[in-house]
């Protein structure tokens, strides 16, 4: 019988898919198998590379510190991590020594060898590894300990999916690291696989990146382990490119820019995950929201407002207390009354901070009789919601406990739902483009078989309808099996930012179930009572998260219309201040956020200050400018347009705001760059076309 080594001689092939299942190259093949190669630079290949690197890291740790106990070591986006139970936390100096130990293991070319074991055999071999024994118990099923209920963010704690790299296969397996010279097993780990054929294939494209702490299986009730993160790439050049992207990402970190640009903060007195927006951040947020309000009004949405708390019965009806209680803050027990003896004379009621707006909107729909003539009814709200996130998961503005959702719920007929979904998706994509995000694909999240309400038939119809709408958009569509909320499938817009990173932005969910639970009805054109279909739609996701994404996308240099300060006047000397004051007054009258820097700083320091603050336009005025009723435009990249008449300067500024333009350089510099690019492109096209023409002749 053949194996993958005999079938694929290309050294870039590191594993194979056999009848759709990932397997080691050493796996035996049948003549009827459908086999596909997996190269190291493919998504599956990169995951296998990084998973193999986690084993080498764990082996290196136990080589240096034999008392270290092993947690889990999955691959994650762009890297991997491994959790360890050690007496003393790791230090940055440990990272350096561990990288050297990993390099020695890699150079030895140890073979990864898969071995099927029974539960008893696994327990015997890993008797000194308590966390592995717990995972073996999970694999053994009910009665042998554990479950997969702990599911939180990969940056903090283990998820069931990540645990499955250890015990998620059909069989329980151990991978031995075998010395190629002696055939001796030098290290082993409980693992599903697959792995690279040899540690040597990891090469020199790896690096350990940071340290963290994480609770075992995501529960604060469990021991806190020490986590080591790393990354691995097929080549050293690919690693360097990744590190360069990370350096740029660090410069763009919205938490860093938020402090530098005085946009927002997280006062310790308020609590984790609860941001406050400062005046400059408030301006950006106000502009974001105002433009959204304008577009929603034009698209026929009705604005509603709902309270921040509600009685528990609302979330019992919606199902959130059954399916989402872990993401909600604890209840407030109110309105209870007692007599002087302490006896309850009036029962209290549990109130909850709302994690969602949809149940409230359902009550608005239900508040009176509805006719088919009112549908589609589009309700929109900037609604504040509160979700309990574990402290280790909270991250800047992208993962908060208190947020504002630009939440819409659309009620339509079953016959009209596809048209409304198409219209909603187009509205979402066009509005995202207006904010400068125009590179995206779609993801279709389907039913979680363990967490859903409603019938299979309703889910199938909803999923098929969303799939058809997404496909018709012409955008790439990626499957997300089991990723839907409990009440219905969803399309999510996955947007790529300036660094090529993917962010989940807008979501569109099709829901047959909540209208049923809330007994929503409308009168159809034949006089019968019918159930509406409900579409949940959030465009920003949350205002806070969208703010963070835009901050990093633009590196804090927002388009002019979003910039807190759009224009700063800088007089060459004090005598030119009044001239600039008049210009700024004219700008303010047409709605421009402008000011004059009358400080005692020297002109060059003023320019540096406002360049660092990422102000789009600096208007500099000296003797010649004032004499000619003109200004010198200075742009964010340091280029200038000198001697621009004041009227023309105001026109340019207003036009940049009205067209939502991103202005970084002077128009003349931009034109020159475009001319050069066109010339280079034309030359390249000519060069590419010439050989073809010669061949034809």
- Is-cis flag, bond preceding 565, omega within 30? no
Residues annotated as catalytic are 358, 387, 405, 407, 409, 490, 536
> Considering the chain, what is the average pLDDT of its residues?
89
670 confidence band (pLDDT: 50, 70, 90): low
Q: Is the pLDDT of residue 165 over 90?
A: no
Q: What is the pLDDT of residue 697?
A: 25
Rounded average pLDDT over 467-477: 93
> Domain residue spans in the chain?
1-38, 40-248, 276-336+349-553, 560-665, 671-697
Q: Maximum CA pair distance of the chain? A: 107
250 by DSSP, 3-state: which?
Answer: helix
pLDDT in tens, 201-229: 999 999 999 999 999 988 888 999 999 99
Rounded average pLDDT over 563-574: 96
The answer to whether the beta carbons of residues 289 and 550 sit under 8 Å apart is no
Helix 236-252 and helix 543-553: axis angle, to 10°? Answer: 120
Higher-confidence residue of 1 and 673: namely: 1
Q: Is the pLDDT of residue 432 over 90?
A: yes
Q: Is the pLDDT of residue 412 over 80?
A: yes
Would you identify the CATH topology of the domain 560-665?
Answer: Rossmann fold (3.40.50)
The answer to whether the beta carbons of residues 102 and 56 sit under 8 Å apart is yes
User: Which structure tokens are listed for 599?
Assistant: 């400080």
CATH of the domain spanning 276-336+349-553: 3.30.930.10
Q: What is the pLDDT of residue 325?
A: 86
Rounded average pLDDT over 519-537: 95
Residue 460: how many other CB atoms lie within 10 Å: 13
67-106 as b/e, with b when 16 or more CB fall inside 10 Å?
ebbbbbbbbbeebbbbbbbeeeebeeebbeebeebbbebb
Tell me the sheet residues that pair with 114. 175
Residue 278: how many other CB atoms lie within 10 Å: 16
Q: What is the pLDDT of residue 579?
A: 96
160 confidence band (pLDDT: 50, 70, 90): low
Tell how strand 617-621 and strand 567-571 pair up: parallel
Q: Is the pLDDT of residue 148 over 50?
A: no
695 confidence band (pLDDT: 50, 70, 90): very low
Q: What is the pLDDT of residue 675?
A: 52
683 confidence band (pLDDT: 50, 70, 90): very low
**Residue carrying structure tokens 């397996």:** 173
Q: What is the pLDDT of residue 156?
A: 41
Rounded average pLDDT over 360-383: 96
53 by DSSP, 3-state: which?
Answer: helix
* Closest listed residue to residue 257, CA positions, set 505, 553, 546, 504: 553
DSSP summary character for residue 214: E
DSSP 586-653: HHHHTT--EEE--SSS-HHHHHHHHHHTT-SEEEEE-HHHHHTTEEEEE-TTS-EEEEEEHHHHHHHH
672 confidence band (pLDDT: 50, 70, 90): low
Percent of the chain whose pLDDT exceeds 70: 91
Q: Is the pLDDT of residue 467 over 90?
A: yes
Q: Is the pLDDT of residue 323 over 90?
A: no
pLDDT in tens, 597-609: 999 999 999 999 9
Q: Is the pLDDT of residue 469 over 80?
A: yes
* H-type alpha helices, 211-299: 236-252, 254-260, 279-298
DSSP summary character for residue 395: B
Would you identify the CATH topology of the domain 40-248?
Answer: 3.30.980
Helix (H) or strand (E) holding 173: strand 173-178
Q: What is the pLDDT of residue 167?
A: 62
Q: How far apart are CA 693 and CA 697, in angstroms?
A: 6
């Amino acid at each position: 019988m053949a194996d993958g080594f005999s079938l694929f001689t290309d050294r870039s092939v590191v594993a194979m898919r056999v009848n759709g299942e990932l397997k080691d190259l050493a796996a035996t093949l049948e003549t009827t198998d459908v086999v596909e190669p997996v190269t190291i630079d493919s998504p599956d290949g990169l995951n296998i590379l990084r998973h193999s690197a986690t084993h080498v890291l764990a082996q290196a740790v136990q080589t240096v510190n034999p008392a270290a106990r092993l947690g889990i070591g999955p691959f994650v986006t762009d890297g991997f991590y491994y959790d360890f139970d050690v007496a003393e936390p790791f230090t940055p100096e440990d990272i350096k020594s561990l990288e050297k130990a990993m390099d020695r293991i890699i150079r030895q070319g140890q073979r990864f060898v898969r071995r099927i074991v029974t539960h008893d055999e696994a327990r015997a071999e890993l008797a000194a590894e308590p966390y592995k024994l717990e995972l073996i118990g999970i694999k053994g099923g009910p009665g042998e300990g554990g479950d997969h209920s702990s599911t939180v963010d990969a940056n903090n704690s283990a998820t069931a999916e990540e645990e499955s790299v250890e015990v998620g296969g059909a069989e329980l397996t151990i991978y031995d690291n075998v010395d190629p010279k002696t055939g001796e097993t030098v290290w082993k780990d409980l693992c599903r696989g697959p792995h690279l054929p040899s540690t040597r294939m990891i090469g020199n494209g790896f690096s350990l990146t940071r340290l963290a702490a994480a609770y075992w299986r995501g529960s604060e009730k469990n021991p806190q382990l020490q986590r080591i993160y790393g990354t691995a790439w097929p080549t050293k050049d690919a690693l360097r490119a990744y590190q360069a992207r990370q350096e740029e990402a660090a410069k763009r970190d919205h938490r860093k820019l938020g402090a530098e640009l005085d946009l927002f903060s997280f006062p310790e007195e308020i609590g984790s995950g609860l941001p406050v927006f400062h005046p400059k951040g408030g301006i950006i947020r106000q502009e974001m929201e105002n433009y959204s309000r304008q577009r929603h009004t034009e698209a026929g949405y009705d604005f509603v407002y709902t309270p921040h708390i509600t009685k528990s019965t609302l979330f019992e009806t919606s199902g959130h207390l059954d399916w989402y209680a872990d993401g909600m803050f604890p209840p407030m027990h109110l309105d209870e009354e007692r007599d002087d003896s302490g006896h309850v004379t009036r029962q209290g009621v549990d109130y909850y901070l709302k994690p969602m707006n949809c149940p409230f909107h359902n009550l608005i729909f239900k508040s009176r009789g509805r006719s088919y003539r009112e549908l589609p009814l589009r309700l929109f709200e900037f609604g504040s919601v509160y979700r309990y996130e574990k402290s280790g998961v909270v991250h800047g503005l992208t993962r908060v406990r208190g947020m504002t959702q630009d939440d819409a719920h659309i009620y339509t007929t079953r016959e009209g739902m596809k048209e409304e979904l198409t219209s909603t998706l187009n509205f979402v994509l066009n509005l995202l483009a207006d904010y400068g995000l125009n590179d995206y694909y779609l993801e279709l999240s389907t039913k979680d078989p363990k967490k859903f309400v409603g019938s299979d038939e309703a889910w199938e119809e909803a999923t098929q309808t969303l799939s058809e709408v997404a496909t018709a958009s012409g955008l790439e569509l990626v499957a997300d099996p089991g990723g839907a909320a409990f009440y219905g499938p969803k399309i999510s817009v996955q947007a790529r930012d300036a660094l090529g990173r993917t962010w989940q932005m807008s979501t569109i969910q099709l829901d047959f179930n909540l209208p049923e639970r809330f007994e929503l009805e409308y009168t159809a054109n034949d006089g019968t009572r019918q159930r509406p279909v409900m579409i949940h739609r959030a465009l920003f996701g949350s205002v806070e998260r969208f703010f963070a994404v835009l901050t990093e996308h633009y590196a804090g240099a927002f388009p002019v219309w979003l910039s807190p300060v759009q224009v700063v006047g800088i007089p060459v000397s004090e005598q030119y201040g009044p001239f600039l004051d008049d210009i700024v007054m004219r700008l303010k009258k047409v709605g421009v956020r402008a000011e004059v820097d009358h400080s005692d700083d020297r002109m060059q320091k003023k320019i540096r200050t406002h360049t660092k603050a990422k102000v789009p336009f600096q208007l500099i005025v000296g003797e010649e400018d004032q004499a000619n009723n003109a200004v010198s435009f200075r742009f964010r990249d340091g280029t200038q347009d000198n001697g621009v008449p004041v009227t023309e300067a105001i026109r340019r500024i207003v036009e940049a705001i009205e067209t939502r333009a991103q202005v970084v350089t002077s128009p003349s510099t931009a034109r020159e760059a475009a001319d050069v690019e066109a010339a280079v492109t034309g030359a390249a096209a000519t060069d590419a076309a010439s050989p073809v023409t010669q061949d034809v002749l």
